[in-house]
Amino acid sequence: MSRSSVIAGRYGRALFEAAQAHGIVSEAEEQLRVSAEALQGDALIAKFLDSPNVADDRKIELIRQALTGKVADVVLNTVDMLIRRGRIGELNGVYEAYSKAAGEALGRADAVVYSAIELSEAELTDIAARFGTLIGKQIRARQIVQPELLGGIRVRIGNRLYDGSLAGKLGRMEQALKSKAL
């Protein structure tokens, strides 16, 4: 595990504990996601925050102006601390660690559904429900289209991959044939 992921994990867990104490676990998660997307998703903002020529107090003042009233104090204080400690680049990692801790506490897991074609919301909801029953958690699914799968789906939940794609089945069949040929 890299040093930055360990650091992000610590900040994420600390923020989770603070949000849990305030009873705003879900709200803080969404606010942290939006903040991470806004602050790191925009190249100009990211460049501004990484600039050594701008004082940390000025960065914090502008971020506070932009986020006050839109995010909870615990989220704002975390962003403030990341800037002060020169770790604002870890914000996405903090969000991932927070999301993992929140998911465990709320009995929820995130899934990525890979499919050859775009799935409807109903299909994605059905897949989430089926996998939720399988693992005993509520699933939040998002979709990535990968035409190379040919058909079927792959579902990644945490570090577990469920492969029901045509490409996966063909690959397993190829391996079976190779092992029998030896």
What is the structure's pLDDT at 53? Answer: 92
The predicted model scores a pTM of 0.72
Question: Average pLDDT, whole number, for the chain?
Answer: 91
> What is the per-residue pLDDT across 31-83, written as a single tens digit (0 to 9) for each?
999 999 988 888 898 899 988 899 999 999 999 998 989 999 999 999 999 99
- Which pLDDT belongs to residue 36? 92
HEC sequence for the chain: CCHHHHHHHHHHHHHHHHHHHHCCHHHHHHHHHHHHHHHHHCHHHHHHHHCCCCCHHHHHHHHHHHHECCECHHHHHHHHHHHHCCCHHHHHHHHHHHHHHHHHHHCEEEEEEEECCCCCHHHHHHHHHHHHHHHCCEEEEEEEECHHHCCCEEEEECCEEEECCHHHHHHHHHHHHHHHHC
- With bands split at pLDDT 50, 70 and 90, how would you rate the model's confidence at 144? very high
- pLDDT, tens only, 81-120: 999 999 998 999 999 999 989 988 888 988 999 999 999 9
In the predicted model, is pLDDT for residue 1 greater than 80?
no
Q: Is the per-residue pLDDT at 28 higher than 80?
A: yes
Q: Domains in the chain and their CATH numbers?
A: 3-104 (1.10.520.20), 108-181 (3.40.30)
